[in-house]
Each structure stands twice: as C-alpha cells, then as structure tokens.
Amino acid sequence: MIQVVGACAAGALALGGIGLSAVGGTLFDFALNPRAKRSIMARINSGAASGLDASVFAADPFRQEALTWFEEAKRPSEVPAFDHGTVHGWHVWGRGVVPGEDGRRSSASTDTEHRYLIMCHGYSGRPSDLCREALMAHRAGYSVVLPAARGHEANSDRYVGMGWLDAKDLLQWIQFVIDFDPEARIALYGVSMGGAEVMMASGLDLPAQVKCIVEDCGYTSVWDEFAVQMGNIMHLPVHPLLDAADAVCRMRAGYGFKEASAVAQLAHARVPMLFLHGSADTFVPFWMHDAVYEACASPQKEKVAFEGAGHGASSYAQPERYWQTVSGFLSRHL
C-alpha cells in the first residue's frame, strides 16, 4: 500500500498540478477515508490489521482479563454529532450508579463521588484498546464512557477527524454524562489521537463539570504528525504532497491539517492538565511532549515521562507508576 502511494507521489511530481491533486486524494484516502478500498482504516475495519502493535500489547496478561470485562460490561451509547447525525460509543456505569427508567441516574444510586472518565482512543484503534485503563478506573470507582472516534468502529461512515472533529463531538459526550448526572465530576483522558483530541477540546468552552484532562502521547498538530509520517514511513517530501492532501481534506472533510492544532487550543486551556509520554516514542516524537506542555495556559499542569516506553505503551511499560500518576492526578482534581 505504501509503495502504491509512493508511486502516485512520484508521478505527481512529474505531472504537476493535476497530478498533485490526484495524489492529494490518494493520500487523503490512504489516511482518512475508511471507505476507500486501499487505506489504513479499511484494513482495520476488515479485520486484516490491528489497531495496536501486537508485539507490545498482546503479551500483557491483564489486557485479556480487561478485554473480557469490557466486552461483557459495555453498553452502547450514542450522541448527536456536532454537525449532523449521530456518533457512537460505549459506557460502563460505576459500581453503585443505578440508571433510572428515564435513562438518568436514579436516586437509588449509592455512589457518592459522581466521578466520570471519558476515554478517547487512538488512530486506527477502537474504544476497547483502552480496556485496561478503563477497568482500573472502574475498580477505583469511576464510571467510564468510551466514544468511538470518527472513521472508527461504528462511526466508519465518516472521515477520520484526527481528534479535531472529535473534540467538537466530545462536547456532546460531556453533555451525555451531564444529562445522566447533573452532579457529575468529569475528567477527559486520551491516548495518541485521543490525546490530541482532549488537548484540542481543552480550548473549547467546557462545562463546569469538566474538572481536569489527562493526555498521553498526543501530537502538536495534525500537520506536524503527518509530516513526521511522510518522512518516517512513506519517505516522501512534505512539500508539495502534504499541501495537496491538506487541500483535499479541506474540501472533503472540512478541516485543515494546520488548523487542527493542539498547541493552538492549549493556549486557551483553563482546567488542570497532565501530560504523559514515552521517551522512546518515534511515532509521535517525544519532542512533542515538551511542546504541548509549554503551550498549555492552564495554571495547573504537570508532565511525566516514561523512560524507554514506545508509542502508547507507557501504561504497559510501567503499569504501577502509570496508574499511580494518573489516579493521583484525578484524585487531586476530582
């Protein structure tokens, strides 16, 4: 597949404007169109590939336990998308949280903490990728809500939003929790693209029920991340090829790669934020950890690095330290 994209790109450089438009469409479909016959997302959705690096994650024994729990405990959820239609996901209410006949939290609930964690997965993944973290949070007394990103799982009828469009949908998921429990105390948590998503949401007009945000290995902007992948995976020049894909994305998906910036949104962040990243991450390079932290305007912010951890693998590389870090932060702010 990458060879096909590379061949198209080489032809585009020779053909000029018309060729660049064509390769822009090819790159867009390859990365962001789950309905394209040849794309990363089509392979994921068909079951031909996994959203996770199996060599890192599959060996963890707790993951299978957590996945079994999640598949049994999850309940379907949907909210209005910010633009049109609906987007889908899952939820698991916490122990002691009882839904009433009207679908809202019942007065029969014995839970007194009203703590909710909205968990956002990464690119080419699915909500169940966060099953370990969800189970740990549930055991600690949290209700968990796990939206599927655009272009993923039940939302594969949409183009991938790379966190930018998903951040706007995230406001609807927050409202979903508030409608269920007006006393909710909500934390946002995201990994990789989900990390970018919650950072992009940090600059929006968040309801008062959102108390804090945890991001793990999110990127500075969609442009920056694609530029890294153009060089590392495709071995293609950023200019003019990424510019061409950006133009196609604006026309077809309604957003631009530079516009979709976590750094720009973090300049408006007000809630406490925790930034996590593995030092051996090359997919979302480790330098982005400092960049997003420095961009954050929140008066309460923390950053923690996990030595030797690869992309999205910090919670696997040092599970006890990871959960202590996250749970300690959540306890302080929820």
pLDDT in tens, 56-93: 677 788 999 999 999 999 999 999 999 999 999 999 99
Strand, helix or coil for residue 254: coil
pLDDT digits (tens, 9 = 90+) for 201-215: 999 999 999 999 999
Peptide bond between residue 299 and the one before it cis (omega within 30 degrees of 0): no
Q: How far is CA 158 from CA 32, 48, 52, 127, 195, in A?
A: 9, 20, 21, 16, 20
Average pLDDT of the chain? Answer: 91
Q: How far apart are CA 8 and CA 154, in angstroms?
A: 31
Residue 52 has pLDDT above 90, yes or no: no
Q: What is the mean pLDDT of residues 85-112?
A: 97
Query: Are 201 and 265 a contacting pair, CB within 8 Å?
Result: yes
Residue 318 has pLDDT above 80, yes or no: yes
Q: How confident is the model at residue 55 (pLDDT cuts 50, 70, 90)?
A: low
Helix runs in 16-146, H state only:
17-32, 40-46, 54-57, 61-73, 131-139
DSSP codes joined into one string, 257-269 = TTTSBHHHHHTT-
* E strands, the chain, in order: 75-80, 86-92, 115-120, 143-147, 185-191, 210-216, 273-278, 301-306
